[in-house]
């Protein structure tokens, strides 16, 4: 398949961005902003869902909806270059719409599994804190997640996955195949690279609250810059240092950052 959107090392794309997905991203941010302004953001925080006395099926359903909106707002913007190229490349398939749906469905499936894993891990953590009161210290959880995210910025896995995400034309040229099944596998492959690149940052978002706008906006910009912006591949070190410094500050004096351990706290 010819390289879509330019040469083998190009990060830029020439395919138009899908209007429907742009609308989805915009709608996700409108919902997040509305939830924050109306004070309803904490309703979908995982702590409220787990400890609020709701039936399990209701809590899981609300989380699933809220998480999809969160992924649309946080992750879709940085993957739109590849989606645009895939949309153009799949136009000559027998069932292009089904192939595009399979590609996006697989990508979202990867992040949905991660969301449920985080929710399950949080439930285990809460159970441990209930049994061992010494563990029931929100600043330790918040600081630990920040330190983990900061350290991961220096890992080889982060670098390898980031390089895959930063070159969508190269990725698509290497892995594109025709067919709905192939589109699903491509979406899974891309989703796993995206997860490998951003899971630690998204874990921070999970810890502070998935509808916490004060963290959503800067983290979304960071991930977009890392994956699509000029010089984004050199951002790992300063971002890592900033996260480690922030985690250390929370550990030493958690009271200075209410958005992390206040109304969005565990």
Report whether 77 contacts 25 (CB < 8 A): yes
> Is 155 within the bounds of a domain?
yes
> Is 4 within the bounds of a domain?
no
Cα separation, 266 vs 264, whole angstroms: 7
Write down the pLDDT at residue 219: 92
Cα separation, 221 vs 148, whole angstroms: 20
Of 202, 204, 197, the C-alpha closest to 233 is 197
Write down the pLDDT at residue 53: 63
Residues, the chain: 266
Helix, strand or coil, per DSSP, at residue 266: coil
Report whether 35 contacts 41 (CB < 8 A): yes
> Is 266 within the bounds of a domain?
no
Straight-line distance from the first to the last Cα atom of the chain, in angstroms, rounded to the nearest whole number: 49
> Count of domains in the chain?
1
> Is 188 within the bounds of a domain?
yes
> Is 11 within the bounds of a domain?
no
> Is 8 within the bounds of a domain?
no
> Is 13 within the bounds of a domain?
no
Residue 15 DSSP label: S
Of 140, 143, 147, the C-alpha closest to 241 is 147
> Is 216 within the bounds of a domain?
yes
The one-digit pLDDT tens for each residue of the chain (266 residues) are 444 444 434 444 456 777 889 999 999 999 888 887 887 766 666 666 655 566 777 777 878 888 899 899 999 999 999 999 999 999 888 899 999 999 999 999 999 999 989 888 887 877 777 787 776 666 777 888 999 999 999 999 999 999 999 999 999 999 999 999 999 999 999 999 999 999 999 999 888 877 778 888 999 999 999 999 888 888 889 999 999 999 988 888 766 555 454 444 44
Write down the pLDDT at residue 126: 74
Written as six digits, the tokens of 172 are: 């698509």
Write down the pLDDT at residue 265: 42
Which residues span the domain enclosing 47?
Answer: 19-261
Written as six digits, the tokens of 74 are: 């946080």
Tokens 């000029």 belong to 230
Cα separation, 231 vs 220, whole angstroms: 16
Of 226, 185, 266, the C-alpha closest to 74 is 226
């Amino acid at each position: 398949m010819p390289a879509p959107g330019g040469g083998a090392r190009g990060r830029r794309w020439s395919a138009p961005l899908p209007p429907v997905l742009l609308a989805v991203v915009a709608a996700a941010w409108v919902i997040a902003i509305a939830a924050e302004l109306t004070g309803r953001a904490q309703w979908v925080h995982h702590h409220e869902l787990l400890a609020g006395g709701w039936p399990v099926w209701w809590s899981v359903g609300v989380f699933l909806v809220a998480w999809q909106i969160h992924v649309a707002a946080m992750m879709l913007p940085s993957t739109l270059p590849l989606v645009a190229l895939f949309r153009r490349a799949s136009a000559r398939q027998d069932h292009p719409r089904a192939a595009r749906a399979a590609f996006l469905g697989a990508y979202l499936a990867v992040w949905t599994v991660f969301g449920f894993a985080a929710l399950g891990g949080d439930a285990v953590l809460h159970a441990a804190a209930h049994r061992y009161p010494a563990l029931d210290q929100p600043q330790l959880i918040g600081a630990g997640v920040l330190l983990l995210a900061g350290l991961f910025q220096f890992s080889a896995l982060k670098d390898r996955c980031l390089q895959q995400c930063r070159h969508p034309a190269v990725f698509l040229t290497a892995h594109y195949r025709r067919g709905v099944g192939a589109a699903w596998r491509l979406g899974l492959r891309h989703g796993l690279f995206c997860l490998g690149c951003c899971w630690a940052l998204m874990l921070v978002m999970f810890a502070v609250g998935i509808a916490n706008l004060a963290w959503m906006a800067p983290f979304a910009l960071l991930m977009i810059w890392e994956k699509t912006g000029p010089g984004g591949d050199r951002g790992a070190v300063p971002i890592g240092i900033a996260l480690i410094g922030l985690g250390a500050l929370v550990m030493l004096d958690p009271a200075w950052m209410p958005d992390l351990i206040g109304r969005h706290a565990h």
